Structure 1
Amino acid sequence: MNVATLVEKRRAQWAELETLCGGVVSPENAARFAALYRAACADLALASAYQLPPGTVTYLHRLVGRAHSRLYRSKRFDPMTWFDTIFVDAPRQIFSDPCVRIAAILFFGLFSLSAYLAYNEEAFPTYAEDIVGVATLEQMEDSFEPGLDGNFGHYISMAGFYIKHNTGIGLQCFAYGILLIPCVFILCYNAVALGASFGYMAREGVPGGDTFCEFVTAHGPFELTAIALSAGAGLRLGMGLFRTEGRTRVASLKANALQAVPIMVAAAIMFFLAAFTEGFISPSPLYYPLKAAWAIMSSGVLMFYFVVLGFPRGGLR
C-alpha cells in the first residue's frame, strides 16, 4: 500500500478529529482527542514528505492547527470562574475534608479543655506551671503588666514574636503532616500549651492578665484558625502518602497535594489577617469593646465562609 492510499484511508479519523475540535473536549474523550491529534500530525508529515495533492496538505495543516489550538490554548480570565472557585468550590472542599475536621476538633477541643484546666486554679493549682513552665508564665506577666499605653514600638515587636511563633507552629504542622504522627503531636502539644497560657492569664489577680486578654482578643480567631487549617493541609498530604486508593504513591501524593492547596491558601490568608490585626489593632489604645467587636466580626466571617458557604449542596462540582 503506497503512502497516498494510506493517508486517504485516514480521512475517517480526520473527520472525527474535526468533530471534536468543534465541540467540548470532556475528560472522557480527552485521551481520544490527543491520539487523533498525534495521528494527524504524522499524516501531515507523510503528506508533506511525499508531496501529496496540495489540497490534502492544506487541509491537514488547518486541521492540525485547530487541534493544537484546542488542546493547548490558554484559558482566558473569567471573573465568574474565579468567583466560583473562591466562594463556592474552595469553602465546600475545605468544609468536607475529613483531615480539616480532625485537625479542627483536635486543636480547638484540646485548646478549650486546657484553658479550662489552667483557669480552674482551685481544682488544678499547678496545671499551667506543669504545662508551660514557671519561667514562661512569669515572662508573660512581666510583658503585659505595664498595660497597653499606646507604645506601638514595644507591642509591634512583641506582636512580631507571636506572629513568628504561631506561624512557625502552622508551618511545622504542615511540613510534618506528610508523616501524620509528628503533625498530630505538634498540633496537640501546642493546643494544650496555648490553652494553658490563655487559661492562666485569664485568672483573676494574675499580673497583666487583663492586658493579655485585651491584646489577644482581636487577632485570636484568625491566628488559631490558621494553625488548625495548616495542620489539616499537612494531614491531607500525609493521607495521600499512606492511603493511595489503588494509585502509585507519587500519583496519590500529587492528587492530595492539589486538594491541600485551597486549605493552605486559606491558612496563609488567615495568618496575614492575624498579622495585620496583631500589629495594628491588638496593641492599639482602642477601647476594648471595639477590639471585641472586631473579634466577633472576624469569627462571623470565618463561620460564614467555612460553614455557611462550605456546607455541601449537592456535593462538590
Structure 2
Amino acid sequence: MIVQRVQLGDELAVSPIGFGAMALTPVYGEVDDTESLATLHRSVDLGVSFIDTANVYGGGQNEKLISRLLAERRDEVTLATKFGITGNPIDGTRGSRGDAAYVRQAIEESLERLGTDVVDLYYMHRRDLTVPIEETVGAMAELVAAGKVRHLGLSEVTADELRAAVAVHPIAAVQSEWSIWSRDVERNVVPTAAELGVGFVPYSPLGRGFLTGTIRSTADLAGDSGFRRALPRFADDALESNLAVVRVISSIADEVGATPAQVALAWLRYRADALGVASVPIPGTRRAARVEENLGSVSVELSAQQVAALDDAGAAVSGNRFGDLSWTSAGRE
C-alpha cells in the first residue's frame, strides 16, 4: 500500500503513522514473537514503515526482534531506536546516562542487536542531568559523521534543552507523550519544535490504550506488567473519573463512523496542524488488525465543534501522566 509521507525535521520523511514497538515486549500483556513478527510485516505491507524501538525495551530483546524484520526488509523500513535509559523502567530501577563514551557504546550495541549498519533516527531517550546536553548531542553528531546514524532525535526534552541541542546539530524529531489526555507539551515544547522546524513524534497517542475504550476498570489491566497500574491516571478513583473522556471520544467516533482509536489519532493530526508542527504518532499494538485500524485514522475528518469537544474532555483529566514528573519534560520546565 502506498501512503503519503510526512516530512519531519532535517528532511526526514516517514509514514504518516508509525509503529511503537515497545508494545511487543511484555509491558501491557504477554507477547508471542511469532505473532509480533507477523504484525511487524503487516505494518510494513500497509505502509506503516516508521518503526520505533529502543535499547531498553525488553533489555535489548525488542531490537533483536526488529532485526528479524530488517533481515528481510531493511530498505522498506525507517528505523528509529534510542539510548539513554539505564536499569528497568518497568520495576522503577531506572536511571539515565548521556556521556559521550556511553553514546558511542550504545550505538554499537544497538547496531549489533538490530543486525544493521545504520540507524535512520537515533534518539536520546532521556536527559542525563549530570551531563551537558551539548556533550550528548555532540557525541550523537559524531555518529552521523561516521555514517552510523542518519538523523538525530530527542525524547522528553524541554524547550530550552531542544534549543541547546539544535545549536549543536539539526534535530529531526522530538518524541514525547502527547494525546487528548496528555497535553503539557503544547505549552512550550511543541511551539518551540514548530519554530525550529523540528518534527514531533507523539508516543502513547492512545493514552496507553485507555483512549480506545477497551479499559473500563483496573481489572482490565490484570494481564500487564503492573506499569499502567502504577501511573496516577490509572488509579481506581482517577480511572473512573477519566472514563468521561472515553465517552466523549466514543460518541464522536459514532458520529463520524470511526473507532475511538481513530478519533484519538485524528485529533492529534488536527492539533498538530493548528500548532504548525509536522507530527507522526507511533501507536503500538500486538495485533496486525490494529495497525490497519490506526492507519485508517489519516482519513478521519473532524469538525471544529468535535475537535473543541475533545479539547474540553482532555482538559478535565484526573491525575498526572507519570508518577515522577522529573522523568518528563513537564517536570523540568
TM-score by length of 1: 0.22
Larger Rg: 1
Task: Give the strand-richer structure, 1 or 2.
Answer: 2
TM-score by length of 2: 0.22
